[in-house]
Amino acid sequence: QSALTQPPSASGSPGQSVSISCTGTSSDIGTYDYVSWYQHHPGKAPKLMIYEVTKRPSGVPDRFSGSKSGNTASLTVSGLQAEDEADYYCTSYVRSNNIVIFGGGTKLTVL
Amino acid sequence: QVQVVESGGGVVQPGTSLRLSCTAYGFTIRNYGMQWVRQAPGKGLEWVALIWSDGSKINYADSVRGRFTISRDKSINTLYLQMNSLRAEDTAVYYCARDLSFGSHEYWGQGTQVTVSS
């Protein structure tokens, strides 16, 4: 199974909104609503930000939102803050094969 | 407080074995799906293996299938990753994580470093 495709970088100024895309295929994102997004600050444990495409775990600000259209999922960060600067990864759980596919990661820079 | 703590990493030679442990605190591992994920130097996160809460399903990434084995000891609330025939490309920080739902990992440890080098 190939990795999901993410842009290597994204950026925005404080207060702005930025969206990060995650493109898969009809066999993964296109079929299953098991898309998750993680925030990863280097040297720290990754943090789950979105699961099942649109759901936020407890404690995650509502500035973070997820969506999906066809084979592409997106993470939108609204009202950018300096602490949002991190690497972001999408994943898709492919239930038919019982595997998890990661995207290559997107480095988000807050200008 | 829910927490997972990895241990067992180290520096080993190619072709040798290593067993990683992930001890769970604040929850019972038999009630949750668990996963191993790794990050090689300068690379992104890579899924390694998973085990369902009831243990009925286990699976591995193609890169480790046949060499790595995920297991758990419910009596001591610990998840394991037995790694055999290690290669240089297995060098990474290895994380264990507890699932929130299918494929979503809610609680992560701080990771344990595995270096495979001659």
Secondary structure of chain B in HEC code, one letter for each residue: CCEEEEECCEEECCCCCEEEEEEEECCCHHHCCEEEEEECCCCCEEEEEEECCCCCCEEECCCCCCCEEEEEEHHHCEEEEEECCCCHHHCEEEEEEEEEECCEEEEECCCEEEEECC
B68 neighbourhood in chain A, CB within 8 Å? none
Contact A52 B101 (CB under 8 A): yes
**What is the model's pLDDT at position A2?**
82
> B interface toward A at CB cutoff 8 Å?
35, 37, 44-47, 50, 57, 59, 61-62, 95, 97, 100-106, 108-111
CB A19 within 8 A of CB A71: no
Closest CA to B38 of B116, B113, B118: B113
B105/A48 Cβ within 8 A: yes
Position B61 scores a pLDDT of: 96
pLDDT at A1 over 80: no
pLDDT at residue B103, rounded to an integer: 86
Nearest CA to CA, how far is B15 from chain A (Å)? 26
pLDDT in tens, B19-42: 999 999 999 999 999 999 999 999
pLDDT of residue B55: 87
pLDDT at position A16 over 90: yes
Contact assignment for A38 to B45 by CB distance below 8 Å = yes
Task: For residue A45, give how far its alpha carbon lies from the nearest alpha carbon of chain B (Å).
Answer: 5
Burial B83-100 (b: 16+ CB within 10 A, else e): beebeeebbbbbbbbbbb
Check residue A79 and give its pLDDT.
Answer: 96
CA atoms of A100 and A37, how far apart (whole Å): 12
Question: Residue for token digits 């290597």?
Answer: A8
Q: Which of residues 19-48 of A touch B (CB under 8 A)?
A: 34, 36, 38, 40, 44-48
Termini Cα distance of chain B: 40
Nearest-by-CA chain B residue for A102: B46
**CB-side neighbour CA atoms (13 Å) of A73:** 33
- A38 is written with which tokens? 């993680």
pLDDT of residue A101: 96
- What is the average per-residue pLDDT within A97-107? 95
Please say if the pLDDT value at position A8 is more than 80. yes
What average pLDDT does range A57-72 have in this prediction? 96
HSE of B102, CA atoms in CB hemisphere, 13 A: 16
| Confidence band of A18 (pLDDT split at 50, 70, 90) | very high
What is the CB-side half-sphere exposure of residue B40 using CA atoms within 13 A? Answer: 12
> How much is the pLDDT for B102?
87
Token pair of B114 as six digits: 């595995």
Residues of chain B scoring pLDDT < 50: none
Paired sense of beta strands A64-69 and A72-77, if any: antiparallel
Q: How many angstroms separate the CA of residue B28 from the nearest CA in chain A?
A: 20
